[in-house]
Each structure stands twice: as C-alpha cells, then as structure tokens.
Amino acid sequence: MLCCKQPLEEINAENQTTLEGNSLQKAQYVFDRYNVSCFADDTGLEVEALHGAPGVYSARYAGEQHNAADNMRLLLENLKGVGNRKARFRTVITLITPSGQKEFEGILNGTIIDQQRGTEGFGYDPIFLPDGSTRTLAEMSLEEKNKLSHRARAVEKLVAHVKHKNLSNA
C-alpha cells in the first residue's frame, strides 16, 4: 500500500474522458511523485445501443453519489424498448516504468437483462449476463466470476508482459 500526504481523492482522481485516460492519470500521478514503476486501472460498462455509455462514467452514471442501485435503475430505464442489449465490461491497466508505458485491456462481453438477479458482486453485476452463461455475474461465486472477469483478463496480460520483460525487479 502506498502511503503519502496527498488525499486519496487526489491520487484516485478520475476526471478524464476515457478509461485509458483515467488509468494513465492515476499511474502517472504515482510515477511522477515517487519515481517507482507502477500500474493503475479503470473499468467501465459499455452498452452498444447507448454508444458505449455509461463507459468511463459507469460509477457515477446516475450522479456523483456513486450509487449502484441508481446507476442500474437509470441504465434499465435508458434501455426500455431497446432490442440491442449487447454490453461489455472493459478494464484498461496502464503500466509505467522508467522505460515507458504500456496498456493492457480486458473485455467481458454480455447482455444487459431486464431485472436484477443475484446478490454477489457489485455495480452492474445483477443485470449483466456474460455471453455463454445462464447466470448473471451477481449469481456467480467470486471464484467463478474471477475466472472470466475483464479485470482478470487485463491482469493476465500485465503479468505475462512483466514476466516476459523481467520487470519484476524494475
């Protein structure tokens, strides 16, 4: 865990207009201040019929209060009568080292269903049905979810890169 005098909100600022921008901003903040290799991520739910929304604004889709129930309610309202309910969770991780920066992306494709199902997980999990599954993310155990997670896919790419580049000591 990183300890510093800056408020967590300043370090965790997410004021860019893309997942890539937020991920880079957070990693750059730490790299610039502490001159250590680091990585940061950002994740969003992208709905095809809504032209990628809520996307980078997923956590605050219904307002700055970051309320998951309100976010799901607004999303379902915006999808009423819409036939195309294809969506994806997308994570972008930015790694910054003294030799440069690299991005890693993880995607989980699925569909937004009409009603919440399940009690596990958080955010949009109760209304997100992964492709090939009959259960929402909120109906899966943490272990099951982690096997197909967009975050896990991005982290796998990061780990493979670090191993390949032997950056574990960088």
Average pLDDT over residues 65-87: 95
Report pLDDT digits (tens) over 80-139: 999 999 999 999 999 999 999 999 999 999 999 999 999 998 899 999 999 999 999 999
Report the alpha-carbon distance of residue 60 to residue 93 in Å, rounded.
Answer: 20
* Confidence band, pLDDT 50/70/90 cuts, at residue 65: confident
| pLDDT, greater one: 66 or 47 | 47
User: Which two tokens mark 124?
Assistant: 């949009």
Please give the model's pTM, rounded to 2 decimal places. Answer: 0.87
Kindly tell me if the per-residue pLDDT of 5 is higher than 70: no
User: Which two tokens mark 94?
Assistant: 């930015």
Domains of the chain, residue spans: 17-169
> 4-18: buried (b, 16+ CB within 10 Å) or exposed (e) per residue?
eeeeeeeeeebeeee
* Confidence band, pLDDT 50/70/90 cuts, at residue 60: very high
pLDDT at position 167, please? 56
What is the bridge-based pairing of β-strands 100-112 and 86-97? antiparallel
C-beta separation of 79 from 50 below 8 A: yes
Q: Which CATH number fits domain 17-169: 3.30.1360.120, 3.90.950.10, 2.120.10.30, 3.30.450.20?
A: 3.90.950.10
C-beta separation of 93 from 39 below 8 A: yes
CB atoms within 10 A of CB 64: 7
- Residues noted as catalytic: 42
* Confidence band, pLDDT 50/70/90 cuts, at residue 1: very low
pLDDT at position 59, please? 93
| pLDDT, greater one: 10 or 99 | 99
* Radius of gyration in angstroms for the set of CA atoms belonging to the chain, rounded to a whole number: 17
pLDDT at position 7, please? 47
